[in-house]
Structure formats: C-alpha cells, structure tokens
Structure 1
Amino acid sequence: MGRMVVRFAGEGSGVAELSWGQREILGAMRRQGCWLALSNVAPLPAGTTLDDVADWLRFVMGRYQVLRTLLRFPADGPATQVVHAAGEIGLDVVEAGAEDPERVADRVAVRYAGHDLDLARQWPIFLAAVTRDGVPAYRVLTVCHVVWDAFGALTVLADLRRREAAGGAPPEPVTAMQPLEQARWQRSPAGRRHSEAVLRQWAHALRQMPARRFPAPADRGEPRHWKLDFVSPATHLAVQAIQSRTRAGSAQVILTLFLVALARVTGVNPSVTRVAVNNRFRRGLAGSVAVVTQYGLCAVDVAGVTFDEALARLARRVVSTFKNAYYDPDQVADLVDRIGRERGEELDVHCYYNDRRLDQDGGPPAEPPAPGQVRAALARTSSSHSPLTRRRSERLLAAVEEAPGSFRLTLEADTRYLSRDDMLACARAMELTAVAAALDPAAATGVG
C-alpha cells in the first residue's frame, strides 16, 4: 500500500468547546466502546486518476470544517474542538492486482473501521483509492461519526454532485452553522435560555415517567450484546392500511407500534423511549455538515386503548419531543441523576429509537392494501440474530431501516436488560399489532 500526501486549506479556524451534537455522539461512542466508523465504498468513473482522487480529498477537507477538526480532552476542563485552517493528510493507494477491486475496497473499509483512531492527533477521516494496474477503480471513505450524521452526509453528497455537474467548480459557499459557530451560539445568552427551557420540559417528563425501561437486569452470559435484523412485508402493508384510515404519517405509525410493543414485552407503561430528531429545522442548521441529531424524550400511555387512540396520543406528544431535542447532553445527564436521587431510584433513559429512512413523509397509497394481502404477507417475515463483536450495544436501540417495498427493523440490545427472545418478541409484537390495527379500527394495543 502506498500513500500520497495531500495538502489542503479552507475557510474558518479557531477553538471552542464541543457543540451539543458532538458531545451527544461522543457519549454514544464511549457507551458503545468504539468510534462509530461510517464507511462508503464507491466505484470511480473510467478515466479517474490518482490526482483526481487527491483533488476530491483536498476539496472536502477545505470545504468542511468538521474534517479538519482535532479534539482536546484536558484533565482539568471541558473538551474542546480545534479547527485548523490548513494541513496535510494521507491518501492511501491500494493496488488490487489480480483480485476484484471491490472486494479489496471492502476489506480496506473493514480495516479502517478497526483502526484505533486518536481524535486528538488524527483527522477524523480515512480515504483510499483502490487501483487496478495503477488506475483508480474504487474510492473508500471512512469517517468518524463525530464528523456528521446521516443528513450531514446527504448534504456532502449533494455538494459533490453539484461540483461534478459544474465541471469541478466549487458549489456556493457554506452558509449553515458549522460546529465551531454552533458551540459559540450554544454558549451565548440566547443558547443558554434555550437550553434552560428544554431542561424544564425534561425535568417535568422525568418526574412523571416510570423509572425503569426493562425488567430487572439478569446475567445471560456471553456474548452479551446482540443485534436482531427483522424484515416484515406484512408490517409495511399494515402501516399503509393504517395510514389510509388515520391519515397519519408512517413515522408516527411506526413509532407508536414500537412504543406499544415495548410496553407489551417489558410490562412497563407509560412506554418511554428517546427518539432521534434531525434538528435541521432549526434556524441556521438547515444543510449543516455536522452532527446535530439528538434524542428527544417521548412517553406515551398506551394501556387499555385502541391502537388508533395510542396513535392519537403519540401525535399530541411528539411535537414536544421534537421541540425539546436540542440541548446540552451533559446538563441533561446531570438532570437525570438529580431527579433520580430526588425519587430515590435510578432513572433509566437508555432506550433509543431512530427512524433512519430518508423519506418518512410519503403519504398512504391511493388504494390501501386488501386485508388478504396483509395476512398473506405474514408468511414472508424473516429474522436473524448476530452478536456484536466489535462494540457494545446501548441497553436497547431500535432502528427503522431503508427497505423499499418492505419494513426492516434492527434491534441492538444489551441482553442483561433485554434477552434475545424478548428482542424477537418486541419485533413480532410490532408486526402483530400493525396487522391487527390494519384489519380492525377497534383493535386494542394489548397493554394492560
């Protein structure tokens, strides 16, 4: 493997405390014991040269402050971000030889993800050009999750498409707040007032919600952390049918299904989870290449009602969840601890829900699925468990994944809190609740 040195320069530099989004994702990295690598392997157009790949790297390093940011972790103060105006970075060049360059590129991505990244000394990005006979065939990009979230990555892709369409000319200047400016606003009087208002809402919710999320912890041996992949065409059709009847968005329908299933499996009601919120609807954050997604707190009483009523209750609560999902995570953690001490019990807020679909706002189909279609699709459900070997799980993280024409749910769990059987039971409960509600508007949640 060879290496080219690429020099870069960009607008903006300075030092500030970490932004709220940076602190949020660093907390997840600490809990999960890894740097949460995000990788992309892409074929390169015919005629691409190594100089072209180096120019691409030079462009992204100069345009996005997050890629030329190092972090400091002093022993006697808060962590800070240091944005550099210029520097240099290595571009790895990997010759595939007689091997399939795509397979070589996939191996490079795995190797990057297993690298012991030092965010205080290394840029949070790795880039490789995989060549065949010296000609670039694939590009491997791996970044640390502290750089951007999914919607930040989409902004980068859109910028790159515009640059390519313009023959390499740079897109319009960056106008969205980058983490350096975000952190400065968050420390301003306006940012502090916002944070204090959010903390008041969290305090009210924390005093009202059940303290635990799961049954009593139990040692279920090793490996302790597992992932469930659950694919259900029936849930997809059932959600469409529920949308057609209620006119609710699919995101609200699916979140309600999860809250109902969680309550059925754990026996805890009101059902509580933290919901990932893309905060780019806020002033200055639209198009931000950064981590601005944070988790709002959502609690809904789903007992003794129909699914449609649970959905209506969720609709009334979710606005507050989104409104109060932009905050100082350290202050929220302190608040959780303080109110737990007031109540004399640990408050468990480690259940997370993330709808990762890019299009969550699609309306119901012109014609809802027929009941027979929904029932028949149950036979096509599939599921599989796999251990998490490179990192730990949250106590529970539920994620709705892209699955055109179907429904795909992944659950990652610490089996000390939720067993593998209960993980599958939760996914099945979502499916069966969805089908029941699709077929009968009076179907109950099944939560006592």
Structure 2
Amino acid sequence: MEGDAQRSRDLLVAHPFSEQIERLPFPWGERALELLVQRHEALWTTFGEDSHGDPKQRVWAAAPVRIQHFDPESWATADDFFLHLDKTPFRISEEWPLRVGRAGDRLNLVIAHIAIDAWGARVLGREFDSALTAFALGAEPELLPAGAQPLDQALWERSPAGRRNDDSACAYWRTELESRPAEYFPAARRPETVRYHEASLTSPAADLALRLTAATLAVPMSAVALAVGALVLAHMTGRDAVPFHMTWAARQRADAKEIVGSLFRDIVFTLDASGAPALSDLAVQAQRHVLRSGMRGQFDLLRFHETKAAASRSRGLLLRPGVSFNFRPFEDTDDSPGVPPADESSWAELRIRSTWAMVPATREHWNAHDLHIRVSPAVDGLRLVAVSHEEALDEEALRRFLYGMEAVLVRAAATGDTTTDLDHVLGCVADRPDTAYTQVGASWLDLRETERLLRLHPAVHDVELSLEDSTLRARVTTQDDDLTPAALRQTLLAGIDACHMAACPALFEIRRMGDGGGRAVTDEVVPRIVTGPGTERNHSGPADEAERVLHRAVMAANGLASVSMTDNYTEASGRWSRIPNVCDLVARAGYSGLSLADFEGPRCLADVAAGMQRADDSAGPTK
C-alpha cells in the first residue's frame, strides 16, 4: 500500500498483482472465479479506518463478481484495455480489491497488493486450476474446506499470544537495527533526482551452476544467490558488511499457510564477507540469517517502523533499507540440480548463450533502495536483474556486478572450489571508498558532512573529529558559555535526512576559547562529555506558531497529555498508525510540507515543524 501521508487516506492506492489467463473456456473460467471469490474474504474486503483513525478491515457480504468486458469502440486493442485495468489505482477504502476484465477467451485478474501477496497468489492459482479442470470434466471441484481468513490472522495478532510474539520480534529487530550499517553505498549529499539504471542478464550457465552448487552445499538456491551477491558487492566496494532487505512470506503458523491475503513482511539482516570467506561458508551464514530473521518475520508492521525510528534516534542516523534482494523462481521451473557439463570449456560454451539487456536510464526521485537485486530461475536460464541509481552503481558497474555473479557461480560449480580468488575471477580489484569516508561501526560515512552540519550552529568556532577506540569524538571550540553537547547533537540531527547522511559523534567535548587552554563545560546539568544516546532529554514546549500547531496535532492524534518538542515522534510516544491523523490536523491548521519521512528519522519535533509551510505561503519553511 502506498500513499503520501499528507493526503486524505481515501486517496490511498495499492500496487496490483495482475494475472492474465489465455484461451479460457467459457463459462468455466467465470464459474471457477465465482467459486474462489466465495471462498476467500480478502477479495471482498475494504481497508479504511475506524472513528479513531486506526486502520480497519471491513469484510462485506459476498456478491457476484463484476466483470468488465472489452469494448472495441472504447479501446484500440484488448491489451490497452487490460493495461488500463492494471494501472488504475484501487480506492481501497471503498472499492473491492479485485478487478476482472474479459476480452474473448482472455481473462485478466488484478488484485490490490494489500489484499494478496505472492504466496497467496500461488494458493489462488492452484485452486483456480483445480476448479477449472473439474468444471471442464463435468465434475465439482474437490477443494479442501476454506481455512483461516485474513481477519482470523488479524485477531490472532491482537491476542495475548500474538502480542507476546510481537514484543519478542520487536526486541530482536531493535538489536539488529542498532548494529546494522546505516546504508551501504556512501553518499553524504545527494541530489534531489537521480538516474536509475536497470540491467538484466539471463544465463543458462548460471542457472545450472546455482542448482548444482545449492545441491552440493545442501542449502537453498536463494542462500547461494545471496552469498554470491554479497561476495561480489563486498569485492567491488571494499565494504564487507552487506546489509540486505528481503521479503518474507510470514506464514510460520500452520493455519496461515493457505490464507489468500497479504501477510508478507520485509526482514533485514547483514552478511559478513570480511576475510574473503568461502562461498560455502557465506551461503550457510546467509541461510542462518534468513531463518533467524524469518522466525521473527511475523510482526506488527507499524510497531516495526516505530522500533526502527527509535533505533535511528538512538544512533543519530537515518537507517536506510540496504540492498534489496528478491528470489522468486518462475512457476514452470523445478529444483532439480541438472547434469553438469563435462569440462570448463563446455561451461564456457554455455556462458556464450547468456543474453544481456540494459533498460534506458530514468531520472526520478530517490526511492527506498540504492540497489535492488532480483534472482529468478526460469526455463531459459537464471534471470539476474539489478536496478541501481548512478550514485551507487553506474551502468558499467552494474554490468560488472551481474557478470561477476555469473562468473562466481560458474567457477564454483565447474571446479568445486568455493574459495574463489575474486580478483582473478572478476578481472578487477576492489574499488575502495573515497578516503574521506570513515568506517564508524558498520557504516561508511563522510565525516566532512558531520563537520559541515556542526558548523551550522552559530556558536561553533571550530570542529575536530576523531575516531578513537571505535568511538567517534567531536571536539568543539566556542566562546559561548551556554553551548551544550545536547545543542550540538540537536543541530546535527536536524540536518540528517534521505539526502544528507552524517555520523553523530558518541562523545562531544566542548572547549571555550580565551580562558587559558579551554575550560570545559562542567555544570551538573550538562556534563563536559556526553555519550551518544545518553543525551539528557529536557522537556521543551513549542516556541513558535508552527511548533504549536504540530505540538497540538501530535497530542490530539495520539491522546497524549504532553509532548516535548526536543523528542522525535517515536520518543514522544507517537504511534505510526496516527501519522496520517497528525498530517490531517496540521493541514487543517493551514500548514503543509509534512511527509512520512519527517517522522522516521532522528530529527526532533521542533525540527520537523521547522520544515512546515503555511498553505498560502510560498516563501519556504517557517524557520
């Protein structure tokens, strides 16, 4: 589900799943469709909100499916008609999430993603095939009784057992997010728009190599693909901790396995490719990470975002998703390892059959991912797809990356050697980061950006940053007796967003000029050195009209008696389910300029308010 938080939630739209069925016998297809709709409540559920503004599912009474028929007077071709059905956004608060179109013997099903995920789509597809076959033979389909429905899953999530599961999952994710690299591709200052490139390599050799290697190592193909991607990326960038972001089915509970609904979650984990590990070792590490994360993969999504925002505030960093990875075999493939070629020259001949494609670059705003990798075994070969913006990997780097994955897979399968010399196999040495980037924890960050942001404080005369015993320290000189570490940290966090990444020092040391060597701050309220997340939280009320508007909106939307403007939204006990309500209240008060990104980072509410604009004021932010 997507939508700008500052718009009315009636305008929320959903990305669709689209399935086209060719040469469909009439009327068996429509009978099969009617049967499935009767079985699965998700297909006649709307997603709105209750009187408190919280998300709410509403299951309507089942009714006949409305089928839209192709009209040659309105559409040039049936393909244009189907494209219209596929691309038109769903109004999920009032419209059923199922849209059906028919043109002759072609039936097109479009289902909003909020109502179905890939797992649920496969369940629906199996049942449709069974029903269609039975009707064609003049029999009634023998389907298992319909089991749990999405509302049953929602009720379990809100039960005591579900709450305990959620608490455990969020505690796990908080620990993971505290140590995860903030981002993988360093980019201290980013342009507002950037060109994205999409490259694809279809390789029969890589497909066979992946199957053989997975069978040899006794791990899933997805784990081998993850390990290969991490090895090649770490070699190309010189950054060994590779943070991944992966979609998980979240079907651990037995009665959830046959639910046609949208239960998937995104899980995050980091692979350690330091010391040039063998592919076999990294594949096992990848599988363990996926399983450990997947065990905590059934969680309240809004609570996860609150946990992420809290970790972001604690670390003083905006946590980006990392490298997106998706492994999805096509339906017409199997897991059999296949027969290996006789020798390396036969592997080389097989590699010649690989096909390469590059989609023309598009210029667009930053999306959630710097790099997206999709690996799909298919009948014509392993489809390796990578989408990246030019600030991370340009066209040539994408080519090297995908051909590098193919080379590592083929080498491991052809020789049985999983301790591959990447310099030899890839034909290149690592592109080490710019010397301005310093490794702070697991993250590579440009300390010049940290210095620039700290110098924005009017009382700062000079800044010196140093990394001592893995701790980033900031030594600041000033002539202002009132300057505190808390004020410096606040200035720094105010400048961090999706286009400006900086490291927040764990220790600040303030020295005043002109007093014989720099007398440090020593009063009891503000110590001389303040340690990272231990910064004292001093309650602060709103200071101007914009802050008062946001202050009232956060309290009213969340039912809070008081809110400190020096806290970020999560620290102030703000709930993510109420962010649209906050934005609505701010808009009613005559202000605009808020989006979801304003609430997920480390900035405090006072700095969020500074970015708000009067609806009738085009001059810019309020501060």
**TM-score scaled by structure 1?**
0.80
Measured after TM superposition, the shift of residue 87 of structure 1 is: 4.2
Given the alignment of the two structures, is residue 423 of structure 1 paired with residue 398 of structure 2, yes or no? yes
Q: Per the alignment, do residues 211 and 109 of structure 1 end up closer, same or farther by CA in structure 2, a change over 3 Å counting? A: same
Say which is worse superposed, 352-361 or 214-223, in terms of deviation. Answer: 214-223
Given the alignment of the two structures, is residue 212 of structure 1 paired with residue 191 of structure 2, yes or no? no
Q: Distance in 2 between matches of 1:414 and 1:29?
A: 23
8 A contact 1:352–1:398 mirrored in 2: yes
Residue aligning to 1:403: 378
8 A contact 1:250–1:361 mirrored in 2: no
Given the alignment of the two structures, is residue 115 of structure 1 paired with residue 88 of structure 2, yes or no? yes
Given the alignment of the two structures, is residue 141 of structure 1 paired with residue 120 of structure 2, yes or no? no
8 A contact 1:242–1:437 mirrored in 2: yes
Q: Distance in 1 between matches of 2:408 and 2:45?
A: 46
Residue aligning to 2:314: 342
Residue aligning to 1:441: 418
Residue aligning to 1:22: none
8 A contact 2:29–2:132 mirrored in 1: no
Q: Distance in 1 between matches of 2:62 and 2:365?
A: 33
Residue aligning to 2:67: 91
Corresponding letter in the other structure for 1:260: L
Corresponding letter in the other structure for 2:164: R
**Correspondence for 1:77 among 53, 72, 75:** 53
Corresponding letter in the other structure for 1:129: R
Q: Distance in 2 between matches of 1:289 and 1:183?
A: 13
Q: Distance in 1 between matches of 2:19 and 2:264?
A: 20
Write out per-residue CA displacement over residues 10-38 of structure 1, whole angstroms, 9 at most, x where no aligned residue: xxxxxxxxxxxxxxxx25999xx963222
8 A contact 1:260–1:302 mirrored in 2: yes
8 A contact 1:105–1:139 mirrored in 2: no
Corresponding letter in the other structure for 1:442: T
Residue aligning to 2:118: 150
Residue aligning to 1:193: 164
Residue aligning to 2:218: 247
8 A contact 1:177–1:288 mirrored in 2: yes
The 3-state SS of whatever aligns with 1:230 is: strand
Write out per-residue CA displacement over residues 331-354 of structure 1, whole angstroms, 9 at most, x where no aligned residue: 111212211221222222243211
Corresponding letter in the other structure for 1:166: A
Measured after TM superposition, the shift of residue 80 of structure 1 is: 1.2
8 A contact 2:265–2:297 mirrored in 1: yes
Write out per-residue CA displacement over residues 98-117 of structure 1, whole angstroms, 9 at most, x where no aligned residue: x9xxx943322211122132
Corresponding letter in the other structure for 2:119: F
8 A contact 2:192–2:366 mirrored in 1: no
8 A contact 1:238–1:374 mirrored in 2: no
Residue aligning to 1:6: none
Gaps in structure 2 of 5+ consecutive residues = 6-11, 424-429, 433-623
Corresponding letter in the other structure for 1:371: E
Measured after TM superposition, the shift of residue 434 of structure 1 is: 1.8
* Pair member with larger Rg: 2
Residue aligning to 2:474: none
Q: Distance in 1 between matches of 2:32 and 2:210?
A: 42
Gaps in structure 1 of 5+ consecutive residues = 1-25, 132-136
Greater relative contact order: 1 or 2 (C-alpha under 8 angstroms, separation 6 or more)? Answer: 1
Q: Per the alignment, do residues 203 and 240 of structure 1 end up closer, same or farther by CA in structure 2, a change over 3 Å counting? A: same
Corresponding letter in the other structure for 2:39: R
Q: Per the alignment, do residues 57 and 378 of structure 1 end up closer, same or farther by CA in structure 2, a change over 3 Å counting? A: closer
Write out per-residue CA displacement over residues 48-87 of structure 1, whole angstroms, 9 at most, x where no aligned residue: 25xx555444333322111101111469522111110234
8 A contact 2:202–2:356 mirrored in 1: yes
Q: Distance in 1 between matches of 2:134 and 2:47?
A: 34
**Correspondence for 1:43 among 17, 22, 38:** 22
Write out per-residue CA displacement over residues 180-239 of structure 1, whole angstroms, 9 at most, x where no aligned residue: 111111111101111111122212222222221222166579673443222122322332
- Compute the RMSD of aligned alpha carbons: 3.3
Residue aligning to 1:381: 354
**TM-score scaled by structure 2?**
0.59
8 A contact 1:273–1:299 mirrored in 2: yes
Write out per-residue CA displacement over residues 377-404 of structure 1, whole angstroms, 9 at most, x where no aligned residue: 3333322232569998541332222412
Given the alignment of the two structures, is residue 362 of structure 1 paired with residue 335 of structure 2, yes or no? yes
Aligned-pair identity (%): 21
**Correspondence for 1:125 among 98, 109, 114:** 98
Q: Distance in 2 between matches of 1:75 and 1:215?
A: 44
Corresponding letter in the other structure for 1:351: V
Given the alignment of the two structures, is residue 332 of structure 1 paired with residue 332 of structure 2, yes or no? no
8 A contact 2:193–2:365 mirrored in 1: no
**Correspondence for 2:229 among 258, 269, 289:** 258
Say which is worse superposed, 182-191 or 232-241, in terms of deviation. Answer: 232-241
Residue aligning to 1:371: 344
Measured after TM superposition, the shift of residue 411 of structure 1 is: 2.3
The 3-state SS of whatever aligns with 1:72 is: strand
Q: Distance in 1 between matches of 2:148 and 2:253?
A: 11
Given the alignment of the two structures, is residue 63 of structure 1 paired with residue 39 of structure 2, yes or no? yes
Q: Distance in 2 between matches of 1:391 and 1:59?
A: 43
Q: Per the alignment, do residues 316 and 129 of structure 1 end up closer, same or farther by CA in structure 2, a change over 3 Å counting? A: closer
Write out per-residue CA displacement over residues 317-375 of structure 1, whole angstroms, 9 at most, x where no aligned residue: 33202212211121111212211221222222243211111579825336566322223
The 3-state SS of whatever aligns with 1:123 is: coil
Write out per-residue CA displacement over residues 226-277 of structure 1, whole angstroms, 9 at most, x where no aligned residue: 4322212232233244235433332221121122233234443211212222
Q: Distance in 1 between matches of 2:399 and 2:173?
A: 31
8 A contact 2:148–2:259 mirrored in 1: yes
Write out per-residue CA displacement over residues 392-427 of structure 1, whole angstroms, 9 at most, x where no aligned residue: 854133222241251102223354554444333332
8 A contact 2:15–2:89 mirrored in 1: no
8 A contact 1:176–1:288 mirrored in 2: yes
Say which is worse superposed, 68-77 or 144-153, in terms of deviation. Answer: 68-77
Q: Distance in 1 between matches of 2:3 and 2:324?
A: 11
8 A contact 1:225–1:393 mirrored in 2: no
Q: Distance in 2 between matches of 1:393 and 1:89?
A: 36
Size of the alignment, in residue pairs?
Answer: 409
Write out per-residue CA displacement over residues 156-181 of structure 1, whole angstroms, 9 at most, x where no aligned residue: 12222332343363554644322111
